[in-house]
Amino acid sequence: MLNTSITKLRVGSVDELTERLGKTVRVGEKEIAVYKLSNGRIRAIENRCPHKGGVLSEGIVSGDFVFCPMHDWKICLDDGKVQEPDTGCVKSYQTVIEGEEIYLLID
């Protein structure tokens, strides 16, 4: 059965994102960090670190990971999992590119 409660939200065009720098997108009460990786993929995760609430869109991106600017927690941009020895997770969001436009799928 198809989930009809998914919202498709335009983030912007691919060329509006700076490689390896986060962009904050607000959806109601949610803040989402969107990134263009060095390999051209677009990833999106919840914008708050589970440790102390650091703003992840301000973190340093390396490969498929972002490092929280507050305490350097390493978070995977594919699935939102915090890397060992730390623990935790942030929500990850699916992104879709149509032409040059980027969309987030929000449930």
pLDDT at 3 over 80: no
Asked if residue 2 has pLDDT above 70, the reply is no
CA distance 107 to 86: 27
Query: Of the CATH numbers 1.25.40.10, 2.102.10.10, 2.60.120.200, 2.60.40.1180, which one belongs to the domain with range 16-106?
Result: 2.102.10.10
Segments making up each domain of the chain, as ranges: 16-106
Average pLDDT of the chain?
A: 92
pTM: 0.90
User: What are the pLDDT digits (tens) for 60-97?
Assistant: 999 999 999 999 999 999 999 999 999 999 999 999 99
pLDDT for residue 103 is more than 80: yes
Burial class of residue 104 (count of CB atoms within 10 Å of its CB; 0-12, 13-18, 19+): buried
